[in-house]
Structure 1
Amino acid sequence: MLLRSDILTKADGDAVAVENIDGTGQVVLVCEHASRTLPLQAGDLGLSEEALWSHIAWDPGALALSRLLSLRLDAVLVFQRFSRLIYDCNRPPESPAAMPESSEIYEIPGNRDLSAAERFARTAALYVPFHDRVAAVLADRQAKSRPSVVVTVHSFTPVYMGERRAVEIGILHDEDSRLADGMLAEAAKGSDFRVERNAPYGPADGVTHSLKLHALPNGLMNVMIEVRNDLIADDVGQGVMAEYLAGLIKASLDAR
């Protein structure tokens, strides 16, 4: 059984990372599924190498895209350093998806029949530090009278459960659609990509947890961006997408 102190060792390092903390832009980027790395003590959770490279372990391309957006928007970036298989930081502790026993076609033996103590330990070691850091970044900016806009960055698979997805970019929101509305209106002016609202997921799927935790209670404009991962599989695609999305965000904020 993994105890709290065992989940992350000194060799693993911190659960969360922050880059460009002194960025002058108003956007705060959050990437919850940035890494496929598992803590050393967790081993491979009983999964094959194929599974550990797949979308169930992380959002391929999301961190690279986030870093390029950080450069273009001069935005601070907060990201999770470990796989969502050990804890999905875009899910609350009570959600079965926080430490899933299965994902898509894969069973996850290392997450099966976790005790309450093991679930608490993972929550304390991974979820709490991540969201504490996001909250601290936002609180520090507020104390310095700096406006903040929360943008979370994700990627999704072109094919899910055997069905091909036509959508290329999803602009997701919960109750506050201000930024999403602006980005969708801007996207409608051109035909660069197929952009849809709350697709391929939406609030009913539980994917807006970080927005609900950090943006909605504070009245901060926010959006969750989902990009089909075949479009950001290499440097060229990541650069094109970062330029496009930064343009949508800038135009939407400038119009307010």
Structure 2
Amino acid sequence: MRRLPTQDTAGTGIADAPSAPGPDDFPPFERIAGDARPGLLLICDHASNAIPPAYGSLGLPPAELERHIGYDIGAAGVTRGLAARLGSPAVLSCFSRLLIDPNRGEDDPTLVMRLSDGAVVPGNRHADAAEVEQRLARFHRPYHRAIEAEIAGARTAGIVPAIFSVHSFTPVWRGVPRPWHVALLWDNDPRFARPLIEALEAPGDLIVGDNEPYDGALRNDCLFRHGTARGLPHALIEIRQDLIADARGQAEWAERLADLLPAVLARPELHDITWFGSRTGPVAPI
């Protein structure tokens, strides 16, 4: 579900709309029902570039919201394709990362961006603590509660879910081409990420990054909150955006990942709730 924002006419970034719409006026997340038994939960933090009508376009022209600063291009299509192929549950955000970033902890200074890759965001310029709290309550927290509900449902059924977060990255950053086709980000639990890296590297046709072009060690981010803090296996995949910019590329990557994920998910260490890892192997259980 990709929804473009409503343009404001006064240049303020805020459209003529009620100042406090209820949660039903703009859904903060999309849930795709699925079978938890295979032990996989898909999430997509930056699925949409939509802005709730009350916020207009945040003062940005539509072209800016179509860029990577508005959402992770192609990530939603890959997530939905994977969910369909594997029958797995999925939770996707329905709001742009420029409104508030669901992949950031509530204490992160980049939670509401005022400047993003050279673009000033007028609608965020005066976002004070009260406004940030309002966005947390309406959008950020409901998205995370939806993830928590999926995890709780799996755990009630005796299932240890592996959390797979789907993202994408720009082919060029500040004039420098990025060589990787795909990368896995992780912090101190290699159970899910390392086998995925090995499976992606095995055919020999991909340059696979290990914590490239970003580092997965971001305290209080989405996977820290739902994976690390719970001792659940988790990994964040970054796919280069030019490879998944259209429906064909998204389908190809969904198919590629659907082919290799079942074997990785079959590894017994992924389903041990007492296991907590470091980059060198198991340490104390949590």
Task: Write the distance in 1 (CA, Å) between the matches of 2:187 and 2:248.
Answer: 31
Task: Write the distance in 2 (CA, Å) between the matches of 1:15 and 1:36.
Answer: 12
Task: Write the distance in 1 (CA, Å) between the matches of 2:267 and 2:145.
Answer: 31
Partners of 1:8 and 1:39 within 8 A in 2: no
Give the corresponding residue for 1:225.
237
Structure 1 stretches of 4+ moved >4 Å: 7-11
Give the corresponding residue for 1:131.
144
Deviation at 1:147, TM superposition (A): 2.7
Deviations 1:197-236 (A, max 9, x none): 11111135x3871111011122211100000011011222
Deviation at 1:7, TM superposition (A): 5.2
- Which residue of the other structure, out of 72, 75, 84, is the alignment partner of 1:62? 75
Gap regions ≥5 residues in structure 1 = none
Counterparts of residues 62-211 of structure 1 (less than 5 Å) = 62-204=75-217, 206=218, 209-211=221-223
Are 1:251 and 2:263 counterparts?
Answer: yes
Deviation at 1:9, TM superposition (A): 4.5
- Which residue of the other structure, out of 16, 21, 33, is the alignment partner of 2:46? 33
Please, what is the CA RMSD of the aligned residues?
2.0
Partners of 1:154 and 1:225 within 8 A in 2: yes
Are 1:212 and 2:224 counterparts?
Answer: yes
SS in 2 for 1:25: coil
Could you say which structure has the higher helix fraction?
1
Task: Write the distance in 2 (CA, Å) between the matches of 1:92 and 1:208.
Answer: 5
Partners of 2:36 and 2:154 within 8 A in 1: no
TM-score, normalised to structure 1's length?
0.92
Give the corresponding residue for 2:246.
234
Task: Write the distance in 1 (CA, Å) between the matches of 2:21 and 2:225.
Answer: 24
Task: Write the distance in 2 (CA, Å) between the matches of 1:131 and 1:145.
Answer: 21
Deviation at 1:24, TM superposition (A): 4.2
Deviations 1:4-58 (A, max 9, x none): x835456743211111244543110010100011000001111111101111000
Report the more deviating stretch, 31-40 or 72-81. 72-81
Task: Write the distance in 2 (CA, Å) between the matches of 1:96 and 1:89.
Answer: 13
Partners of 1:174 and 1:211 within 8 A in 2: no
Deviations 1:225-256 (A, max 9, x none): 00001101122211211122223322222344
- Quickly say closer, same or farther: Cα 1:210–1:23, change in 2 above 3 A: same
Aligned length: 253
- Quickly say closer, same or farther: Cα 1:23–1:179, change in 2 above 3 A: closer
SS in 2 for 1:6: coil
Deviations 1:114-147 (A, max 9, x none): 2111111111111111111111110111111123
Task: Write the distance in 1 (CA, Å) between the matches of 2:231 and 2:188.
Answer: 11
Gap regions ≥5 residues in structure 2 = 1-11, 269-286
Partners of 1:17 and 1:81 within 8 A in 2: yes
Give the corresponding residue for 2:275.
none
SS in 1 for 2:166: strand
Task: Write the distance in 1 (CA, Å) between the matches of 2:235 and 2:86.
Answer: 15
Give the corresponding residue for 1:43.
56
Task: Write the distance in 2 (CA, Å) between the matches of 1:117 and 1:106.
Answer: 24
